[in-house]
Structure 1
């Protein structure tokens, strides 16, 4: 029997204006469908437009191009049958749990008595019976997210969109809440006909979804899809699940070789530097070089060993690949000869190697260094650099990228930075 589409997107494009007024493409020709009776997980690094895509589907923001339909009707504003759960809980701190849950019903004009009955029922369903009178500050993170989910479910949504709904929670709490949601879904305790989960967590995606869609970045476009036919509940330690996790790790990390947009982006100033720091880069290198890995590791196994999330590790893998310290292929990571030299080097030689690789492979760092060498006083304000980056990305992203470039450059002794004046300078001894 053919499953009916609940939501469908065809050829969706979305751009945001940079500081200079030019359009920056965030989503490029995205095709997507959510069918009745399925859970779909959406994976992709920062910059892939996952959250933007969810907001388009919910009718919160318009697309620039393409067709968006819900139950064969065009999406041209907020969709009554669609509810959304946010990573940040998004609770009103001055309202009780009961009042927070009733908000959506109140907006729909539901009478007070019915609102109370429906809120009580969904709070019991989600495991919060007796907490209706509590304020958000009195709740744990997991309980706050249960309130966020209850607020979405109380409207009896046809489609549930979950934007990193479990990522702000500790591992055990997130896993418990995820399993509770799957139990409600599997036993038809909720009216929802389709769920879309945006996640950074590959294991979470495999444990929940019937399909996993991977987005490329800058701009976001659908790169591949993995169908999962395993019955739920799934055993995370089973061979079938571990094989799927390995496969998706491999597909996620293939971007270094096969994602043309990223390959091109690394060669200009608009490349979105991976959000990781020196200590994490060196920590992963040291772990990779040590026993039992001895220079080569399966990425899921390395993730277990580090006890870091995929959200933390994927930028680190990207940085290692970018700097030529490791290579990634089919879900495995291997030290390069340079990476092995780096691990064995003393701190001074580490910094020297890092600086050399930074100037060779990171255009923003070489741009800063070149301009410093051309300035008579060997000094450069950060403001023009931020303006330059804002031609390619949003203001907050530009600030983050510059902060990373500054941290990496200071460690590699490529340039210095004065946090009081906001100026970059050549290191002592390099002025001449």
Structure 2
């Protein structure tokens, strides 16, 4: 069976809705500008991890709008609450406080004017392509004849004409995601929510599906009012969107808003495209710096969240950037592409090196500090000494745990002793990741040890003696 979809240039057979107007062609023209009329309004939305009013916030007072004819990205790291916000907008989750309105109507449950495409395809394996696409219409009690007509038109639009009776197992990943798009588009939603819809696809397939979607949007053949895209892929956001909202993490807030005015089609190698990507990399890695000596500040030690990145990965990135052709300075997007490493994963490593004082991230470039270059070229003993020095100087929690152990007669302390302190400042999950990172780094640096069987922190044998 030939599973290559035919050209996406086949129309729906129905005219675009009146509020979309006459769209320009994406290639050789410009798509219609946002109308300035919000279809989505989010005001003061906050969300806690649980019902406890003292529990940490996932989202903290988020305000945003999406206009008709606009594609907006929610761009952020893991922990920024972007997927949580998307589910609140869809009516699948309730917020702790704040309001969401779609087309002027408050959202208090699953909204008819909203459709969603998920990262994991979320198809019913026992249903055919046609039956999967009809699911939403069936839930709305659309008559059978109209339901079939609309579903077939959507299948044709996204390039799967001829595969109506195929089952998901017979389709490639890209084709299954096209079915997910068809199932959402057939509902003619006022706003289409995309939850990292391309991240489960390989690079080439993702680029094809992404470009085909932009073609249809630019040609005005999608009967939807606006698009809200959740992603952690910076280049994807710049390629697709009119505006980008950069979310901070733990809790999620809108930290920056960027209007993307680059003409379509957008070329990734264009200097203006690269400059904007680098600028956003810089925004996403910006964080408060911990000054040397801050280990004496208890509040700083208990509020600094640590990403669990292994010392092998940290050492590997320092070695890569130190070597030719980078010689201590490298472009993060280039490294991400070369290593086939996700933006989220690479930013976590770069951010950790910056936190430890081994590097600086400026406008998408990572610049190694002299100590990092010395580390990259040193033997193991020297590496451990350098790492220990930076850990105690730059990470307050390291000095705090070490002091507690030194002050106790038996030089031991149970894990809950530090977990309880951390959970006053962060969620249980973040506190757990912070301690895992601390344990891993401290073992490598040999500043203290941890016994997983007894869940006890202790000084090493030589210091104990």
- Normalising by structure 2, we get a TM-score of 0.82
1:30–1:407 Cα change, 3 Å:
same
SS in 1 for 2:461: coil
| Distance in 1 separating the partners of 2:268 and 2:451 | 48
Give 3-state SS (helix, strand or coil) of 2:300's partner: coil
SS at match of 2:464: coil
Deviation at 1:53, TM superposition (A): 1.7
Contact persistence 2:309–2:348 (CA under 8 A): yes
Deviation track 1:314-370 (CA, whole Å, cap 9, x = no partner) reads 111110011110112233221112212211221222123223322333344444444
2: CA distance, partners of 1:27 / 1:313: 24
Shift of 1:428: 3.5
2:131 aligned to 99, 103, 114, which one?
Answer: 99
Distance (whole Å) between structure 1 residues aligned to residue 129 and residue 299 of structure 2: 47
- Alpha-carbon distance in 2 for matches of 1:42, 1:384: 37
* Aligned CA distance change for structure 1 residues 415 and 140 (closer, same or farther; 3 Å): farther
CA 1:414/1:130 → structure 2, altered by over 3 Å: closer, same or farther?
farther
- CA 1:158/1:288 → structure 2, altered by over 3 Å: closer, same or farther? same
Q: Is residue 256–residue 318 contact of structure 1 (8 Å, CA) maintained in 2? A: no
Aligned to 1:192: 224
Shift of 1:197: 1.0
> 2:391–2:398: 8 Å Cα contact kept in structure 1?
yes
Which SS does the other structure have where 1:255 is aligned?
coil
The change in CA–CA distance for 1:265 and 1:429 in structure 2 (over 3 A counts) is closer
Q: Give the distance between the partners of 1:115 and 1:157, measured in 2 at CA.
A: 15
C-alpha distance in 1, partners of 2:235/2:423?
A: 34
RMSD, aligned α-carbons: 2.9
Whether the 8 Å CA contact 1:288–1:297 is kept in 2: the answer is: yes
Whether the aligned pair in 2 keeps the contact of 1:11 and 1:67 (CA below 8 Å) is: yes
Is structure 2 residue 351 aligned with structure 1 residue 284?
no
Pair 1:253 & 2:285 matched: yes
Q: Do the aligned residues in 2 keep the contact of 1:93 with 1:136 (CA within 8 Å)?
A: yes
- 8 Å contact from structure 2 (residues 59, 253) kept in 1: yes
Q: 1:12 touches 1:27 (CA, 8 Å); kept in 2?
A: yes
Q: How far apart are residue 407 of structure 1 and its match?
A: 2.4
Q: CA separation in 2, counterparts of 1:164 and 1:240?
A: 25
Residues 390 and 91 (structure 1), Cα distance of their counterparts in 2 relative to 1, 3 Å cut = farther
The residue aligned with 1:108 is 140
Distance 1:93 1:371 in 2: 55
1:200-226 deviation per Cα after TM superposition (whole angstroms, max 9, x unaligned): 111111110111111222322222222
Q: 1:174 to 1:406 in 2, by over 3 A?
A: farther
Alignment of 1:171 with 2:234, yes or no, is: no
Q: Does 1:345 align with 2:378?
A: yes
**Which of 206, 210, 213 matches 2:238?**
206
Taking structure 1 as reference, are residues 415 and 100 closer, same or farther at Cα in structure 2, changes over 3 Å only? farther
Distance 1:339 1:192, change over 3 A: same
Unpaired segments of 5 or more residues in structure 1? 259-263
SS state at 2:109 partner: coil
In the alignment, which residue of structure 2 is the partner of 1:359?
392
Q: Which runs of 5 or more structure 2 residues have no equivalent in the other structure? A: 1-32, 291-296
Q: State how far apart, in whole Å, the 1-side matches of 2:299 and 2:146 are.
A: 56
Write the deviation string for residues 90-136 of structure 1: whole angstroms up to 9, x where unpaired.
Answer: 33344444333332222222244443333333223223334444444
CA distance in 1, matches of 2:166, 2:299: 50
Could you report, residue by residue, the CA deviation over 1:33-61 in whole angstroms, capped at 9, with x for unpaired residues? 10011111121222222112212221222
The residue matched to 2:302 in structure 1 has which SS?
Answer: coil
Aligned residue among 198, 213, 222 for 1:181: 213
| Alpha-carbon distance in structure 1 between the residues aligned to 2:222 and 2:122 | 22
Partner of 2:434: 401
Aligned in 2, Cα 1:423/1:340: closer, same or farther, shift over 3 Å?
same
Could you say which residue in structure 2 is the equivalent of 1:261? Answer: none
Q: How far apart are 1:374 and its partner, in Å?
A: 5.1
Residues 275 and 316, structure 1, Cα contact 8 Å, conserved in 2: no
How many Å apart are 1:233 and its aligned residue? 2.0
